């Protein structure tokens, strides 16, 4: 698991370095008036001070290393289905956390509400025990568990062969 965490962190660091380098090259090669404001903002030189260094260290350790370690540790202790369900809730809780910290201006409006509702609907549907309903109706195929243990009820004459 730790090898996967190192691979994830390294991949993210390399990708960020590539994007940052492209932004820096774009600001040197093209006139400032032709570039989007976000590129100009992201490629501005960073003035280091003690609060900036502490923020970078904190975000690197807590925001990246600790979260990846906890995520891979948790994935190893649950089924793939439950890990996917938790992972699908990540944007919903990130938005709710942003709204709690910064106010309603962080909410994404109608599309965000519909997206969150669809995520919750998908989770509810995936967690319903359809096998119990099928068993009550006498279905031939019954799913026992989330881990895809499937048993098939055969007719008595086919089972004897």
Asked if 119 and 91 count as a contact pair (C-beta separation under 8 A), the reply is yes
pLDDT in tens, 3-30: 777 888 889 889 989 988 888 888 888 8
What pLDDT score was predicted for residue 148? 53
pLDDT in tens, 83-95: 888 888 888 888 8
What pLDDT score was predicted for residue 134? 57
Q: Average the pLDDT over each of 55-59, 66-70, 111-115, 145-149 and give the range with the smallest value.
A: 145-149
What pLDDT score was predicted for residue 57? 92
Q: Return the structure tokens found at 129.
A: 């025990």
């Amino acid at each position: 698991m730790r090898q996967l965490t190192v691979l994830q962190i390294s991949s993210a660091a390399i990708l960020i370095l590539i994007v940052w380098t492209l932004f820096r090259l774009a600001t040197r090669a093209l006139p400032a008036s032709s570039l989007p404001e976000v590129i100009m903002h992201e490629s501005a030189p960073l003035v280091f001070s003690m609060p900036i260094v502490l923020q970078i260290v904190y975000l690197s350790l807590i925001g990246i290393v600790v979260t990846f370690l906890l995520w891979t540790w948790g994935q190893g202790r649950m089924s793939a289905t439950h890990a996917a369900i938790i992972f699908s809730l990540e944007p919903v809780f990130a938005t709710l956390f942003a709204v709690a910290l910064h106010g309603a201006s962080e909410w994404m409006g109608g599309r965000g509400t519909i997206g969150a509702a669809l995520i919750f609907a998908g989770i509810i549907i995936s967690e319903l025990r359809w096998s119990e309903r099928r068993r009550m109706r006498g279905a031939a195929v019954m799913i026992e568990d989330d881990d895809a243990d499937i048993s098939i009820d055969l007719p008595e004459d086919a089972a004897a062969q």
